Structures are given as C-alpha cells and as structure tokens.
Amino acid sequence: MGLRITTNTQSLAAQRALGQTNREIEKSLKQMATGNRFATLDEGAADFAIAEQLKAHSKSLEAVVRNVENSKSISSIAEGALNEQSNLVIRMRELAIQGASTLFEQDQREFLQLEFDQLAQEIDRIAQSTSFGTHALLNGNTLSYSIQAGLGNSKYDQIKTNINADTRLDSLELSGLSITDSDEAQDALEQIDLAFNKIAGARSQFGALQTRLNAVTNHASTMASELQEAHSKMADADIAKVTSSYYQNKALQQYQLAALVEAQHQPAQLIKILG
C-alpha cells in the first residue's frame, strides 16, 4: 500500500476497528451492571419484544393471584361466622337435651331457657352483621361478583359467582323455641337439627368457592413462575459469556490502540523518503 499525505487510511481503519471494540466493551459493561441482556437496544428487537410480553403476562398473573386472594377473604370471613353459629347451635342442642329430661325443676328450666334465648339472639346478630366491606354475607341477600382470573377478557378469564346464604334466626326457624317443658324441648331438637343442616349448607357454598379459588391461585402462581423463568432465559444476561467477551475485547482494544499509534506514525516515513 502506498504512503499518502492527505489521507491516512491505516489510521482510519484502526480507528474504525477500535470504535467497534469500544462499543462492545460498553455493551458488556452495561449488561454486567444491569444483568439485562437488553441493556443496549442492538441486542435484538424481536427478542426484546417477546421478552417484554412474557414479563407483562407474568406481572398480570401476579395481579390475578392478588385478586383471588382478596376474594378468598370473603369465604374466610363467612366461614368464621358460620363456624361460630354452628357452635352456638350445638350448645342450643345441649340445652334442649337437658330440657327434655323431666329431672329439672321449673326454675332450673328457666335458667336453661335464658341461655337458650341468648344463644339464639347471638346467632341472628352474627347473620345480620357479617359482611365484607358493604357486602352482607349471611342475611339472605344474593352476593354476586366476578373475579378476573385470567389474562384476557373471555368468559374463561373470569369467575362469576352467586351465593345466597341466609342464617338469620327466622330463616333457621329457631325463633320462639321453648325448652321450659320437656315435650317442647324434645320438639325443639328436631328444629335445631334442621337449622344445623342449613348452616352446613351455607358453609358448603363458601367452602366450594374457596376450593375453586385455591385451585385458581395454584394455577396462576405456576403459570407466573414458568413465565418468569422463560423471561429470565431470554432477557437475563449470561454473565459468564458477557465477562469473557469483555476481557477478550479489552485485550483486543490494547492491540488496536497499539496499531492506531503505529498507523499514526506512518506519515513520518515520508520524511525518510524526502530526506
């Protein structure tokens, strides 16, 4: 190659190669610092778009899990109230069993009736006051709501539920029961058993929904985890590979700098020719 004064082609070639190496070093440093393969936009636009979609779906599924967990709180509140009502009904049955015996005197029966009535009032109070926010759960009003349980807007992405649980005293037909007489106490036993079954039926509604929501949570959590893993494989930088590339380019940079210095000295050869 001839020597030129106006254009140092060797220097330009060395500068161009050094610039490319510097960009690779900068890219490696950004990837190592962030742990992200797409720290620079020249890594692959298509891969980046796919990785971002996976990330969006993963985050959306995490929101689905939060939705479902909030909905499960409804069942938990209702179950706690119904469990207490069951305990109260069981105690009422114990009192009725005692009242069915002819061994008690009338004043003793009145003591039994006093507790019996208090328990009945508490059953009604629980039914009237149990709620989730503004939604009453046990007073006979139909509880209708939908849960976003998927990523889209199809019917399979939502869970719609209608629950009608009524455990008020009148609905359980426990109002006005008396155990002050052995015959009345025996009659009360049958009604108490029916009330217990109604409470069990209400519990089954919330329990069935709870079971389904548990399945939704498990499914969404598994999907989110798998999507996170897929995103990681695509978007996370391979630190071992990036580090190797970094040191390789650092070594190359040193050689290119030396080559650039040599290229810059090429015009000095003209002096020897002219001399």
Radius of gyration of the chain measured on its C-alpha atoms:
39
pLDDT of residue 14: 75
Which segments in the chain show pLDDT lower than 70? Answer: 1-8, 41-42, 265-275
Distance CA 212, CA 205 (A): 11
Distance CA 68, CA 149 (A): 7
- pLDDT exceeding 90 applies to what percent of the chain? 37
Distance CA 59, CA 37 (A): 19
Distance CA 230, CA 21 (A): 31
pLDDT of residue 233: 82
Q: Which pairing describes strands 131-132 and 158-163: parallel, antiparallel, or unpaired?
A: unpaired
Give the number of other Cβ atoms within 10 Å of residue 109's Cβ: 22
Distance CA 206, CA 80 (A): 11
The sign of the dihedral angle between the CA atoms of 184, 190, 196, 199 is negative
Residues in the chain: 275
Instruction: Tokens for 245, please give them.
Output: 């590339």
Distance CA 195, CA 202 (A): 11
pLDDT of residue 269: 62
pLDDT per position as a tens digit, 160-185? 888 899 999 999 999 999 998 889 99
Instruction: Tokens for 262, please give them.
Output: 């040599």
Instruction: Tokens for 207, please give them.
Output: 């329990």
> Mind spelling out the 3-state secondary structure of 37-74?
CCCCHHHCHHHHHHHHHHHHHHHHHHHHHHHHHHHHHH
Matching residue, tokens 């069942």: 75
Q: What are phi and psi of 103, to 5 degrees?
A: -75, -20
pLDDT of residue 266: 65
Task: Give the DSSP H or E segment for 132.
Answer: strand 131-132
Contact 96, 116 (CB under 8 A): yes
pLDDT of residue 245: 79
pLDDT of residue 10: 75
pLDDT of residue 13: 80
* The CA-based dihedral angle spanning residues 173, 123, 167, 126, taken in that order and rounded to the nearest 10 degrees: 150
Distance CA 108, CA 252 (A): 101
pLDDT of residue 239: 79
pLDDT of residue 235: 75
